[in-house]
Amino acid sequence: MPAKRGQSKRNTPEGERGVLVVVESPAKAKSIGKMLGPGYEVRASKGHVADLPERALGVDVEKGFAPTYEVKKEKKEVVEELKRAAEGKRLLIATDPDREGEAIGWHIARLLGRDPKEPIRVEFHEITPKVVRQAVEAPRPIDQNLVDAQQARRVLDRLLGYNLSPLLSQAFRKRALSAGRVQSVALRLVVEREEEIGAFKREVYWLLHGRFRAEGQELWASLYEVEGKRLWAGQGEKEGRLHLKEEGEARRLAQEALRFPYRVGRVEVKERRKAPPPPFTTSALQQAASSRLGYTASRTMRIAQRLYEGVDLPEGTVGLITYMRTDSVRVSPEALALAREVIGKAFGLEYLPESPRVYRNRREGVQDAHEAIRPTDPRRTPESVRPYLSEEEHRLYDLIWRRFLASQMRDALYEHTVVFLEGGSFRFRASGSVLKFEGYLKAWGREEDEEEPPVPALSQGAEARLLEVRPEEKATEPPPRYTDATLVKTLEELGIGRPSTYAPTLETLEKRGYVERRGRTLLPTPLGQEVTDYLRRHFPQVVAYEFTARMEDRLDQVEEGKAPWPKVVWEFYEPFLKELAQVPKKTCPRCGRPLELKVSRYGQFLGCTGYPECTYTEPLEADEPLEEACPKCGRPLVRKRGRFGPFIACTGYPGCDYTRDDAKLTPWACPKCGGRILEKRSQRKRTYYRCENKACDFLSFYPLLSTPCPGCGWPLVKKGEGACLNPACPLHDPALLPKEAPKAKGRAKKALPQGKPRDWEELMPFLPELPKEEQKALEALAQGEALDEAKAKLAKKALFKLRMRKGRAKKEAVVGD
Range with lowest mean pLDDT among 273-277, 448-452, 473-477, 620-624: 448-452
pLDDT at 454 over 80: yes
Q: What is the pLDDT of residues 38-86, one digit of tens each?
A: 889 999 999 899 999 988 889 999 999 999 999 999 999 999 999 999 9
pLDDT at 505 over 50: yes
Cα–chain center distance at 570 = 29
Rounded distance between C-alpha atoms, residue 704 and residue 500, angstroms? 46
pLDDT at 755 over 90: no
pLDDT at 16 over 50: no
Binned at pLDDT 50, 70 and 90, residue 744 comes out as: very low
- The pLDDT score that the predictor gives to residue 514 is 94
Binned at pLDDT 50, 70 and 90, residue 811 comes out as: low
SS3 530: helix
Range with lowest mean pLDDT among 337-346, 411-420, 616-625, 808-817: 808-817
- The pLDDT score that the predictor gives to residue 729 is 86
Average pLDDT, the chain: 87
Is the pTM for the entire model greater than 0.85? no
- The pLDDT score that the predictor gives to residue 362 is 66
Rounded distance between C-alpha atoms, residue 304 and residue 307, angstroms? 5
pLDDT at 747 over 50: no
Binned at pLDDT 50, 70 and 90, residue 313 comes out as: very high
- The pLDDT score that the predictor gives to residue 52 is 94
Rounded distance between C-alpha atoms, residue 662 and residue 659, angstroms? 9
Backbone dihedral region for residue 560 (phi beyond 0: left; psi -120 to 50: alpha; all else: beta): alpha
User: Angle at Cα 470 formed by Cα 467 and Cα 472, nearest 5°?
Assistant: 160
Rounded distance between C-alpha atoms, residue 295 and residue 303, angstroms? 10
Rounded distance between C-alpha atoms, residue 109 and residue 89, angstroms? 13
Binned at pLDDT 50, 70 and 90, residue 713 comes out as: confident
- The pLDDT score that the predictor gives to residue 812 is 59
Q: What is the pLDDT of residues 216-275, one digit of tens each?
A: 999 999 999 999 999 999 888 888 899 999 999 999 999 999 999 999 999 999 999 999
Count other C-beta atoms under 10 Å from residue 507's C-beta. 16
DSSP string, 373-423: B-BS-TTS-HHHHGGGS-HHHHHHHHHHHHHHHHTTSPPEEEEEEEEEEEE
Over range 733-753, report the average pLDDT.
Answer: 57
pLDDT at 459 over 80: yes
Asked if 148 and 119 count as a contact pair (C-beta separation under 8 A), the reply is no
Binned at pLDDT 50, 70 and 90, residue 643 comes out as: low
- Structural element, H or E, at residue 317: strand 316-318
pLDDT at 14 over 60: no
DSSP 466: E
Is 323 an annotated catalytic residue?
Answer: yes
Range among 189-198, 309-318, 627-636 with highest mean pLDDT value: 189-198
Phi, psi of 42 (to 5 degrees): -110, 125
pLDDT at 789 over 90: no
DSSP 63: G
- The pLDDT score that the predictor gives to residue 721 is 67
Closest residue by Cα to residue 99 from 500, 570, 554, 373:
500
- The pLDDT score that the predictor gives to residue 56 is 86
- The pLDDT score that the predictor gives to residue 7 is 39
Binned at pLDDT 50, 70 and 90, residue 749 comes out as: low
- Of 40, 308, 323, 502, the active-site residue reads 323
Binned at pLDDT 50, 70 and 90, residue 809 comes out as: confident
pLDDT at 366 over 80: no
The one-letter amino acid at 79: V
- The pLDDT score that the predictor gives to residue 421 is 96
Range with lowest mean pLDDT among 240-249, 278-287, 361-370, 738-747: 738-747
pLDDT at 535 over 90: yes
Over range 616-621, report the average pLDDT.
Answer: 82
Binned at pLDDT 50, 70 and 90, residue 4 comes out as: very low
Range among 4-13, 251-260, 511-520 with highest mean pLDDT value: 251-260
Closest residue by Cα to residue 110 from 128, 127, 86:
86
